[in-house]
């Protein structure tokens, strides 16, 4: 294969010598950078916010540069500190304590970020949910986490099935509303009548901070539990990979319902005290470029699905905008197509740096940094302090260029510490001291990792991780559907799309209207991104003798591939 290599970018980068830093780096030494090193007691909210608000040179700097089609707001570090203090006081008034789960189900807004930090300040565990979730998705997550408090907006309230949520005591409503029940708390009213001073709850490094629900190939979404300790990796990668400098204007396009939107939409940038651009709403390519040009964005973290849209929109539109502020671009969430990297060189005259990590890993693990040669199509190399390898199913390391399980040596700081209330699920990730990612990959002679695919049935559609079981479960709730099998089908722009095979109950006929109704049922019950783009009616769904749906076989049929071993097929 004729492989293009893109040389390191000229300039003064934070991580100038990757190899040497790898040899000498230790997480223990990095801890000394933090003031909490002396007491051992920490709080992410203090490190990311209050520390800057207490610094006379930084307190009036814009921390949050928020905009959506209706609103634009600049919030300084001092103001964000005060607002989050107020919210911490509101939570305390309602007896929220360390370790309680407080969930957020609302679009991005300045209130979201104040509330988020308020939660951390009382030592509670924050659980951000995508605003696109419908009732079933909200129910599953709030039930499993036993959240005591939910922060939401009046127009999302109808998707919160309060009767099914016995643990949920209070609902904070952000925005005008008519609700009168005792369970409701009015955000604006409470904030007006609260002091802007609070006592931060100092916690241990290993105390809980965040629950992110994500999908696997089986079962309901699982709660990935992260602790304050993660901050040292958010800080380190903010330095090495995001290459942040104090005067940067940084923009991460991800929603905080996704781990990228917290680790790199909140923690890494604010640990470094940079101005953080946050945009709500959906964007067109023009909005993207316009955001960069208007706010003079210097560092941009986005996803392949967005970049592919920009590629389709063409190079002419790039020329309409002044993008000269941009210095550094990164991508995460799906394979970054080599063509997109090549296009980036032409369109922006910049390299696009792929980064690999997962909800479970809490922070970036395999990356391209500015001082490293890029091999388009490769995810790069492990960050200092992290060992990655390709292993077989017994945990043995495989030689270069051999495909296998992408695995990480257990023990990096931002690693999940549990799957909420599911210890056996947590244990199932590890063999012989390795965390097994579920991705297949190989490593070349020079130590670059190359993504090959998922080893399980997890679907990645436009960067959203979707579990087939969740979609199948919803499908069979529809009165017409008897059985369902769901797969990811390769798609040029979206990476994969969701395709569902179903069998119908007696009395139902395959028709366009029926399929549309079933699609809408999933869309309005679960979420838009989980609704199958393609639905096909079958006479039977292939299953193993033990009754498991054989998604692998459905996929082979769909793609016209050899069907492989079918010895466990029923009948």
Contacts with ligand WTA: how many residues (CB under 6 A)?
22
Residue 501 makes contact with ligand WTA by CB under 6 A: no
Of 295 and 301, the one with the shorter C-beta distance to ligand WTA is: 301
Of 250 and 521, the one with the shorter C-beta distance to ligand WTA is: 250
Residue 262 makes contact with ligand WTA by CB under 6 A: no
From the list 109, 69, 72, 117, the residue with the least C-alpha distance to 90 is 117
Radius of gyration of the chain (CA): 24
Q: Which ranges of 528-569 would DSSP assign to H, the alpha helix?
A: 551-559
Query: What's the full length of the chain, in residues?
Result: 571
Up-side HSE of residue 385: CA atoms within 13 Å toward CB? Answer: 21
- Nearest approach, Cβ of residue 340 and ligand WTA (Å): 12
Residue 332 makes contact with ligand WTA by CB under 6 A: yes
- Nearest approach, Cβ of residue 118 and ligand WTA (Å): 25
**Residue 396 backbone phi and psi in degrees, to 5:** -85, 140
Q: With contact defined as beta carbons under 8 Å apart, do 63 and 52 qualify?
A: yes
The angle that helices 304-313 and 338-348 make with each other, rounded to 10 degrees, is: 60
The torsion region of residue 349 among left (phi > 0), alpha (psi -120 to 50) and beta comes to: left
Among 276, 368, 437, 461, binds ligand WTA (CB under 6 A): 437
Instruction: Choose the binding region for ligand WTA from 184-192, 307-315, 382-390, 435-443 (rule: CB under 6 A).
Output: 435-443
Classify 53 as helix, strand or coil.
Answer: helix
CB count in 10 Å sphere of residue 568: 12
- Nearest approach, Cβ of residue 220 and ligand WTA (Å): 16
The torsion region of residue 435 among left (phi > 0), alpha (psi -120 to 50) and beta comes to: beta
Residue 374 makes contact with ligand WTA by CB under 6 A: no
Distance (Å, rounded) from C-alpha 175 to C-alpha 551?
A: 44
- Nearest approach, Cβ of residue 465 and ligand WTA (Å): 4
Of 148 and 494, the one with the shorter C-beta distance to ligand WTA is: 494
DSSP code of residue 503: E
Of 463 and 485, the one with the shorter C-beta distance to ligand WTA is: 463
Instruction: Choose the binding region for ligand WTA from 186-194, 419-427, 431-439, 550-558 (rule: CB under 6 A).
Output: 431-439
Residue 441 makes contact with ligand WTA by CB under 6 A: no
Q: Which residue is nearest to ligand WTA (CB)?
A: 359
Q: Is the dihedral of CA 418, 423, 425, 426 positive or negative?
A: positive
Distance (Å, rounded) from C-alpha 163 to C-alpha 548?
A: 32
CB count in 10 Å sphere of residue 295: 18
Instruction: Choose the binding region for ligand WTA from 18-26, 125-133, 436-444, 480-488 (rule: CB under 6 A).
Output: 436-444
Residue 429 makes contact with ligand WTA by CB under 6 A: no
Of 298 and 437, the one with the shorter C-beta distance to ligand WTA is: 437
Instruction: Choose the binding region for ligand WTA from 202-210, 434-442, 486-494, 560-568 (rule: CB under 6 A).
Output: 434-442
Among 269, 333, 413, 467, binds ligand WTA (CB under 6 A): 333
Residue 106 makes contact with ligand WTA by CB under 6 A: no
Of 126 and 441, the one with the shorter C-beta distance to ligand WTA is: 441
Of 448 and 451, the one with the shorter C-beta distance to ligand WTA is: 451
Residue 494 makes contact with ligand WTA by CB under 6 A: no
Residue 334 makes contact with ligand WTA by CB under 6 A: yes
Residue 434 makes contact with ligand WTA by CB under 6 A: no
Of 198 and 237, the one with the shorter C-beta distance to ligand WTA is: 237
Q: With contact defined as beta carbons under 8 Å apart, do 563 and 557 qualify?
A: yes
**Residue 233 backbone phi and psi in degrees, to 5:** -80, -35
Q: Give the per-residue contact string, 242-261, with ligand WTA (x = CB under 6 A; - = no).
A: -----------------xx-
Residue 142 makes contact with ligand WTA by CB under 6 A: no
Residue 90 makes contact with ligand WTA by CB under 6 A: no
Of 380 and 542, the one with the shorter C-beta distance to ligand WTA is: 380
- Nearest approach, Cβ of residue 530 and ligand WTA (Å): 13
- Nearest approach, Cβ of residue 294 and ligand WTA (Å): 27
- Nearest approach, Cβ of residue 454 and ligand WTA (Å): 5
Q: With contact defined as beta carbons under 8 Å apart, do 303 and 311 qualify?
A: no
Q: With contact defined as beta carbons under 8 Å apart, do 527 and 135 qualify?
A: no
Classify 456 as helix, strand or coil.
Answer: coil
From the list 478, 493, 452, 570, the residue with the least C-alpha distance to 531 is 478
C-alpha distances out from residue 229 to 85, 127, 225, Å? 22, 17, 12
Q: Give the per-residue contact string, 205-244, with ligand WTA (x = CB under 6 A; - = no).
A: ---------x------------------------------
Residue 100 makes contact with ligand WTA by CB under 6 A: no
Distance (Å, rounded) from C-alpha 92 to C-alpha 268?
A: 27
182 burial class (0-12, 13-18, 19+ CB within 10 angstroms)? exposed
- Nearest approach, Cβ of residue 331 and ligand WTA (Å): 7
Residue 379 makes contact with ligand WTA by CB under 6 A: yes
Distance (Å, rounded) from C-alpha 158 to C-alpha 20?
A: 55
Distance (Å, rounded) from C-alpha 376 to C-alpha 335?
A: 10
Distance (Å, rounded) from C-alpha 131 to C-alpha 174?
A: 13
Q: For the residues of 413-442, what is the DSSP string, one character each? A: TTS--EETT-HHHHHTTEETTEEEEEEEEE
Instruction: Choose the binding region for ligand WTA from 143-151, 310-318, 329-337, 420-428 (rule: CB under 6 A).
Output: 329-337
Residue 84 makes contact with ligand WTA by CB under 6 A: no
Contact set with ligand WTA (CB under 6 A):
214, 259-260, 332-336, 354-359, 379, 437-439, 451, 454, 460, 465
């Amino acid at each position: 294969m004729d492989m293009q290599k893109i040389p390191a970018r000229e300039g003064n980068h934070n991580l100038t010598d990757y190899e040497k830093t790898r040899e000498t780096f230790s997480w223990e030494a990095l801890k000394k950078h933090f003031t909490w090193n002396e007491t051992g007691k920490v709080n992410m909210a203090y490190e990311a916010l209050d520390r800057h608000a207490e610094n006379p040179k930084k307190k009036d700097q814009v921390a949050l540069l928020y905009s959506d089609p209706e609103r634009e707001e600049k919030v300084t570090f001092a103001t964000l500190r005060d607002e989050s203090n107020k919210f911490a006081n509101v939570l305390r008034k309602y007896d929220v304590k360390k370790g309680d789960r407080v969930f957020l189900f609302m679009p991005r807004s300045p209130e979201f970020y104040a509330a988020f930090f308020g939660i951390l300040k009382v030592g509670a565990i924050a659980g951000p949910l995508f605003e696109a979730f419908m009732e079933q998705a909200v129910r599953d997550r709030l039930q499993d986490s036993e959240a005591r408090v939910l922060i939401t907006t009046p127009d999302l309230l109808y998707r919160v099935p309060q009767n099914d949520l016995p643990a949920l005591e209070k609902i904070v409503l952000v925005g005008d509303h008519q609700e009168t029940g005792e369970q409701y708390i009015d955000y604006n009213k409470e904030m007006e009548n609260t002091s802007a001073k609070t006592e931060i709850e100092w916690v241990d490094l290993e105390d809980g901070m965040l629950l992110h629900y994500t999908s696997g190939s089986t079962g309901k979404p699982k709660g990935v539990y992260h602790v304050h300790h993660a901050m040292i990796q958010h800080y380190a990668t903010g330095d090495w990979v995001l290459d942040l400098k104090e005067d940067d204007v940084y923009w991460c396009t991800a929603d905080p319902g996704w781990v990228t939107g917290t680790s790199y939409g909140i923690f890494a940038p604010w640990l470094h005290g940079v101005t953080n651009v946050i945009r709500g709403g959906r964007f067109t390519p023009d909005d993207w470029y316009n955001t960069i040009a208007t706010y003079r964005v210097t560092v941009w973290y986005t996803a392949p699905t967005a970049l592919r849209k920009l590629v389709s929109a063409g190079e002419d539109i790039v020329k309409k905008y002044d993008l000269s502020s941009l210095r550094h671009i990164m991508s995460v969430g799906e394979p970054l197509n080599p063509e997109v990297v090549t296009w980036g060189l032409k369109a922006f005259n910049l390299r696009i740096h792929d980064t690999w990590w997962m909800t479970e890993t809490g922070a970036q693990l395999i990356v391209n940094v500015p001082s490293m040669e890029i091999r388009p199509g490769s995810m790069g190399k492990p960050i200092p302090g992290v060992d990655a390898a390709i292993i077989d199913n017994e945990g043995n390391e495989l030689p270069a260029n051999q495909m296998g399980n992408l695995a990480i040596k257990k023990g990096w700081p931002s690693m999940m510490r549990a799957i909420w209330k599911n210890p056996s699920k947590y244990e199932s990730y590890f063999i012989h001291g390795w965390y097994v990612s579920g991705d297949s990959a190989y490593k070349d002679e020079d130590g670059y990792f190359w993504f090959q695919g998922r080893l399980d049935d997890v679907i990645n559609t436009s960067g959203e991780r979707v579990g087939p079981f969740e979609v199948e479960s919803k499908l069979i709730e529809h009165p017409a559907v008897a059985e369902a099998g769901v797969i990811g089908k390769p798609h040029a722009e979206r990476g994969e799309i969701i395709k569902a095979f179903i069998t119908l109950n007696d009395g139902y006929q395959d028709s366009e209207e029926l399929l549309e109704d079933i699609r809408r049922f999933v869309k309005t019950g679960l979420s838009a991104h989980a609704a199958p783009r393609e639905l096909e009616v079958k006479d039977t769904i292939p299953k193993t003798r033990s009754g498991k749906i054989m998604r692998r076989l459905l996929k082979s049929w769909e793609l016209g591939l050899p069907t492989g071993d079918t010895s466990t097929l029923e009948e």
